[in-house]
Amino acid sequence: MYPEIFRIGSLTIHSYGLMIALGILVGAMAIYREAPREKVNPDHVLEAVIVAAFFGLLGSRILYIVLNWPDYSGQPLSVYFTQFEGLSFYGAMFGGVIALYIWSILRKIGFLKMADLLAPYLALGYAFGRIGCFLNGCCYGKESSVSWALPINMADSVLRHPVQLYASLGAIIIFIVLKLLRRNRPFVGFILIALFALYGLLRFTTEFFRYEEIVWSGLTAAQLFSLGLTIVSLVAIVVFSFVEPKKKSEKKKKAVKK
């Protein structure tokens, strides 16, 4: 594959980092343009993207270190955050969401409305990131004999599922679905919860083709967490779909009485 795109003197441009940066940039530009249609201040959107991106990357690195602690135990602290050879998307997703929630409180801006605006582009950013994984040769799939199987690097003759591209395609589909759902969302916050449900389903599926350690009943740790996330998210959607109409109905009744 192509872990390095090019070099400028001592500066090396890595494909993984470049794709993540492109994902953030493309998402930020698109959200900035959409903000006025959603009656959201574009300047607030840029703040939100910067906060979510920074703490998302921080969270992704922290979770990766925690999950791979034996490799980092006893290493100097500088190694933890200066060698970005590993990131976890779950860490990025939840780190970004938590940071966005705190930022929303401090800025006195509706968290769920902002989250619904950003959520589809988190999926799109994931698609960019997985292409970066493919180019970098990491997060590779299991050995396979399918006609589209590929080696993970130029010197490796073992053909594997290009699971990174499966995940990228799935994320693009999620992005499109979320964009379509936003037009008729049943309640504010629906798009964020739908992202959790759909990504959990995608990750659960792609893990069957990915080279990962089995931890229980033929499933990986990521699959177990993803399955739980999808179930909880679907339950939340059902509950809120019933609760929100009741709240609106009660508000209308009170308004009529007044």
The answer to whether the CB of 109 falls within 8 A of the CB of 121 is no
Tell me the range of 2-6, 21-25, 63-67, 211-215 where mean pLDDT is highest.
Answer: 21-25
The runs of H, that is alpha helices, within 35-88 are: 42-67, 69-72, 77-82
Is residue 39 pLDDT above 60, yes or no?
yes
Q: Is the separation of the CB atoms in 192 and 119 below 8 Å?
A: yes
The pLDDT value recorded for residue 93 is 93
Using the predicted structure, report yes or no on whether residue 176 has a pLDDT greater than 70.
Answer: yes
For the CA atoms of the chain, what is the radius of gyration? 20
Q: Please give the Cα distance from 118 to 233 (Å, whole number).
A: 18
- pLDDT tens for each residue of 77-114: 666 666 556 788 999 999 999 999 999 999 999 999 99
pLDDT in tens, 179-209: 999 888 889 999 999 999 999 999 999 999 9
Report which DSSP code applies to 116: H
**Phi, psi angle pair for 216, to nearest 5°:** -160, 130
Distance CA 4, CA 13 (A): 6
Strand partners, 11: 8
How would residue 246 be classed by pLDDT, with cut points 50, 70 and 90? low
Mean pLDDT of 226-250: 83
Inter-residue contact 54 to 22 (CB < 8 Å): no
Residue environment code for 81-96, b if the CB has 16+ CB neighbours within 10 A, otherwise e = eeeeebbbbbbbbbbb
**DSSP conformation class of 5:** E
Lowest mean pLDDT among 91-95, 105-109, 136-140, 158-162: 136-140
Q: Which of 129, 248, 139, 125 is nearest to 195 (CA)?
A: 125
Q: What is the pLDDT of residue 69?
A: 77
**C-alpha count within 13 angstroms, C-beta hemisphere, residue 235:** 6
